[in-house]
Structures are given as structure tokens and as C-alpha cells.
Amino acid sequence: MALKLRLTRMGSKKRPFYRIVAMNSATRRDGRALEYVGYYNPMVEPADIKVDMDKVKKWVDRGAKPSGTVNSLIKKATQAE
């Protein structure tokens, strides 16, 4: 099973809100997630990013690979701390 850390879209039309989730790579974008590890809200200034680094580390240790966007969000979240 190939695991990924990626975004799933929430919110309403024209008001996106994203959750950072761990899921099987074959699962559809808004499908059932194995675990929620954070969120990203691009609609506020500055963008609101919250990532639970303990959960991210746990999933990366299990073999999950973050998507490109999630990888950049993790870097921004660690710089902001």
C-alpha cells in the first residue's frame, strides 16, 4: 500500500479550505483519510497553516511520501514556528 500525505478540499464554492491527510495513494481526493495531520486555509492573510509534526513524522516513518504542495506547506509551517 503506497501511502501519501496530501490535501483534501473542504469549504464551499469559491472559499476553499484544505485538510492535510494521510491516505492510500489510490484513494480519491476527498475519500476517507487514515488520519488528519493538519490544515491549510489560503483565504486569510497571511495563509493559516497548522501541521502536527509528530503525526507527520509517524506517517513518514511508516513510508508515506508527502506531495509537493504538502512538502512546501510543512516547510512554511516549521519556519513560522
Q: Would you call 63 helix, strand, or coil by DSSP?
A: coil
Structural domain including 31 reads 3-80
pLDDT reported for residue 1: 66
Query: What is the value of pTM for the model shown?
Result: 0.90
| CB-based contact 75:81 (threshold 8 Å) | no
Q: How many domains does the chain have?
A: 1
Q: How far apart are CA 81 and CA 79, in angstroms?
A: 6
Mind listing the pLDDT tens digit for each residue in 45-58?
Answer: 999 999 999 999 99
Please report, for the domain that includes residue 10, its CATH number.
Answer: 3.30.1320.10
